[in-house]
Amino acid sequence: MDRNTFTGLFLIMIVLAGSFYFFKPSEADIKKEKERIAADSIQKSATTANQTTLPTATAPVAEVDSATLNGPFGKSITGTEAVSTLENESLKLTFTNKGGKILSAEVKGQKNFEGKPVVLFSGIENKFGLNLNIGGKIINTNDLYFTATTSATTLSMRSNYLADKYIEFVYDLKANSSNVGMNINLNGLNQVIQGNTINLNWETTLVQQEKDVANEQRYSAPYYKYLDKSPDHLSVAKDQKEELKEGKIEWFSFKQHFFSAVLLPAVPFEKGDMEVKVSTKPGQVKWYSANMQLQFNQLAQQSYAMKFYFGTNKFSTLKAQGNEFEKQIDMGYWPLKYINRFVVLPFFNFLEGFGWNYGLIILVLTIALKAAMSPLTYKSYVSMAKMRILKPEMDVIKAKVGEDNATLLQQEYLKLYKQVGVNPLGGCLPMLLQLPFVMAFFFFFPNLFELRGHSFLWMKDLSTYDEFIKFGVKLPFIGNHLSLMCILMTISTLIYTYFNNQISGATGQMKYIGYIMPIVFLGVLNSYPSGLNYYYFLANMLTFAQQFLIKSMVDDDKIHRTLQENKIKPAEQKKKSKFGSRLDDYMRQQNQLKQKKD
């Protein structure tokens, strides 16, 4: 990989990279964590029967005055918390009658970095409910107790306002599906709820699934999609709250690095707001909040149909869901995302069909890219060889003209280029054409779900870094570990820089800056996926092989003879290139300016 490539990558990584420091939790945080652990233990003790009663009453009746008990949803204000479950081959969902909501969502077949099941959210920090204006008071269904009724694939949660007036949440989980249907039924509340809108509120804390929480935060953000627009997201790096009022909202998502929880209403939300906060607590990634407005038509019976998606961020899986869910996966900026989506990913999926190890797939993918780019590599090599051969003549011109008159020196150089028929940019342009493909992989591999949990050689998980050395403490610049594949990538880049300088004849600052950038990238890429560093290492090694092959095909003496022949060749016999035409125009303009000055 050449200096221009690393310079471009460095600028992108400066924007993306961030350092998140972990602080010791406060007493309040420790107390909250104990409450979460207690809730989890209660959840684990629950069986998969229709309904299991928890031993502790969360709100004793004695603490609520009689006026409250006789008011709106009076009999639903107190109760004993109980859980119910629905599960299939893909999901295990635990529900609580406190709020009638999903208490936790486990994605089956997936493990977190500790080897435990992937649970997208769990416990008391997950809130879901409707905010209803009843008698000038806001009632949140998250605080009400519901009565659960279950069947094989459905679960009904009902909370009564009066005997014939109630709120009902009906959940439906089909076999072999990552989708959960939800119907919100409001019966007989048309003369109770004030206003023509109601608000749906969902808050949750993402728990850590991957080994590097800082890297997981880098790729986690709340997403939303306006009707007839492309999906967008809040900040991935900092706290942010945003009002969504540019149109109706087709869906929104609590997106984590490799998993998502998406809510898709049958009728788009009128408007809403979303918020994200970066967590500094151990084991937590971010806190998300969404408030969405639903149209309330004051009907005696009004329903809202919705669908949840709880599952992986595998591109093909999200695309099969429709509604542009797959655009949550960051494939890079234009044109990088098009290269990844329509060139790299299809070819990767084709290779995946052979059932090979993913390390082998990356190798074949790299070879294919290098083979496709070999004409540009050859052209770049030949152009740099021409410039290297011309360097002695350029040194003579420099000694004759002197360095003080930069304009005259540049004109003399251009005359020489014109005489011998050399484009000084000929070595750069082919490399610039390759740069988008090289940069596209910088986004491709870190967001590729397929690599998660798959090993190759000593790399236990290609989706995260390999720990060759663990320091036990976080060191400046490098972090708390050293990645062996990142070290190999750095060494190969330094060697490539040396050989590239020999080919191009680079001198001065340009000769040494190429050695600085790989060292900088050692610190930057040390915590990036080993699959990405493996690709860059392979790219460097294949570039070595290409250069040795091209070197055996290119005769420097023949190039030198051709350049000298071009000098004495009549102007009318020289093939005029686009660069030559622009060079003539430039020199003509310079002569005109000189004549005006004289």
Q: Is the pLDDT of residue 459 over 80?
A: yes
Q: Secondary structure of 320-336 in the HEC alphabet?
A: HHCCCHHHHCCCCCCCH
Q: What is the pLDDT of residue 148?
A: 95
The DSSP annotation for 241-294 comes to EEEE-SS-EEEEEEE-SSEEEEEEESS-BS-EEEEEEE--STTEEEEEEEEEEE
Q: What is the pLDDT of residue 506?
A: 62
The DSSP annotation for 113-163 comes to TTSSEEES--GGG-EEEEEEEETTEEEEGGGSB-EEEE-SSEEEEEEEEET
Q: What is the pLDDT of residue 595?
A: 57
Q: For 350-366, give one letter per residue: b (16+ CB within 10 A) or e.
A: ebeeeeeebbebbbebb
Residue 305 near residue 265 (C-beta atoms within 8 A): yes
Q: What is the pLDDT of residue 587?
A: 55
13 pLDDT tier (thresholds 50, 70, 90)? very low
Q: What is the pLDDT of residue 73?
A: 81
CATH class entry, domain 39-322: mainly beta
Length of the chain: 598
Which residue has tokens 């949840």? Answer: 308
Which residue has tokens 């149109």? Answer: 247
- Report strand pairing: 52-59 vs 479-482: unpaired
Question: Max Cα separation, the chain?
Answer: 108
Domain borders along the chain are 39-322, 337-573
432 pLDDT tier (thresholds 50, 70, 90)? confident
* Mean pLDDT (whole number) for 493-519: 75
The two tokens of residue 447 are 């967001």
The two tokens of residue 343 are 């060139």
376 pLDDT tier (thresholds 50, 70, 90)? confident
Q: What is the pLDDT of residue 75?
A: 81
Q: Is the pLDDT of residue 583 over 80?
A: no
Which residue has tokens 């109760």? Answer: 79
Q: What is the pLDDT of residue 14?
A: 42
Amino acid at 160: N
The two tokens of residue 339 are 């290269």
CA-to-CA distance for 571 and 588, rounded, in angstroms? 16
The mean of the pLDDT values for the chain is 83
Q: Is the pLDDT of residue 528 over 50?
A: yes
Q: What is the pLDDT of residues 156-176, one digit of tens each?
A: 999 998 878 999 999 999 999
Q: What is the pLDDT of residue 498?
A: 82
Could you tell me the CA-to-CA distances from 288 to 125, 180, 205, 218, 420 in Å, in that order? 10, 20, 6, 15, 64
SS3 85: strand
Highest average pLDDT, of 43-47, 49-53, 72-76, 581-585, comes from 72-76
SS3 181: strand
Lowest mean pLDDT among 146-150, 290-294, 393-397, 566-570: 566-570
Highest average pLDDT, of 413-417, 580-584, 593-597, comes from 413-417
The two tokens of residue 355 are 């059932």
* Mean pLDDT (whole number) for 309-317: 97
Q: What is the pLDDT of residue 585?
A: 61
Lowest mean pLDDT among 39-48, 72-81, 469-478: 39-48
Where does 150-239 have alpha helices with state H?
213-218
Lowest mean pLDDT among 25-39, 77-91, 402-416, 531-545: 25-39
Q: Is the pLDDT of residue 245 over 80?
A: yes
The two tokens of residue 53 are 């009663």
Of 119, 141, 164, nearest to 304 (Cα)?
Answer: 141
The two tokens of residue 401 are 């003209």
Q: Is the pLDDT of residue 96 over 50?
A: yes
Q: What is the pLDDT of residue 408?
A: 82
Lowest mean pLDDT among 70-79, 324-333, 461-470, 544-553: 70-79
Amino acid at 375: P
Question: Beta partners for 155?
Answer: 150, 171
**What pTM was computed for the model?**
0.79
Q: What is the pLDDT of residue 208?
A: 95
